[in-house]
């Protein structure tokens, strides 16, 4: 549960998060409050290394991945080095949540120096929404030339 000033006890219920609404903190469903990330360079099959760095991003709130307008998700398997537009692709080390309406923490692996999970980046939060898609509360990775990958949805 996350603290939010609107409730008596200051905590949002499970599956909800705290959002700013006209300067007021309120609990809400992140499945209704997310930013779309539709960046083709994040694709797991993108071999064009552009040295993208998600460490330069100011991640704030929740994000939903698309590739060319089609639903996408962070992969649950090792992604080769120099894919996804970066030297060090990032992917989930464990499967996505299977139940809707719960926010769950997931570890992020980074492929570096020929080791699939050379090191772990800070954990992110993931929620499966009722429309059978995932949203992510992304965080700044350790170091640069690391980026979150996106792949085809597999339900």
Same domain assignment for residues 11 and 72: no
Q: How many domains does the chain have?
A: 2
Supply the range of the domain harboring residue 71: 33-152
Let me know whether 86 and 138 are in one domain: yes
Q: Is the pLDDT of residue 100 over 50?
A: yes
Query: Taking the complete model, does pTM exceed 0.85, yes or no?
Result: yes
Do 121 and 84 belong together in one domain? yes
* Half-sphere exposure in the Cβ direction for 37 (13 Å, CA): 25
Phi and psi dihedrals of 109, rounded to 5? Answer: -95, 150
Same domain as 45, residue 22: no
Q: What is the pLDDT of residue 19?
A: 87
What SS3 state is found at 17?
strand
Contact 40, 118 (CB under 8 A): no
Q: How confident is the model at residue 50 (pLDDT cuts 50, 70, 90)?
A: confident
């Amino acid at each position: 549960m996350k603290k939010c000033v609107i409730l008596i006890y200051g905590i949002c219920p499970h599956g909800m998060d705290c959002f700013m609404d006209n300067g007021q903190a309120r609990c809400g469903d992140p499945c209704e409050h997310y930013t779309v990330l539709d960046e083709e360079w994040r694709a797991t099959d993108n071999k064009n290394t552009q040295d993208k760095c998600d460490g330069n991003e100011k991640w704030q709130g929740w994000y939903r991945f698309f590739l060319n307008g089609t639903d996408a998700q962070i992969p649950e398997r090792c992604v080769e080095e120099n894919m996804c537009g970066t030297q060090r692709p990032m992917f989930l080390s464990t499967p996505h949540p299977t139940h809707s309406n719960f926010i769950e923490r997931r570890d992020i692996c980074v492929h570096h120096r020929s080791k699939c999970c050379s090191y772990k980046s800070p954990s992110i939060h993931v929620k499966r929404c009722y429309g059978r898609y995932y949203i992510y509360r992304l965080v700044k990775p350790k170091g640069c030339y690391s980026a979150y990958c996106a792949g085809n949805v597999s339900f």
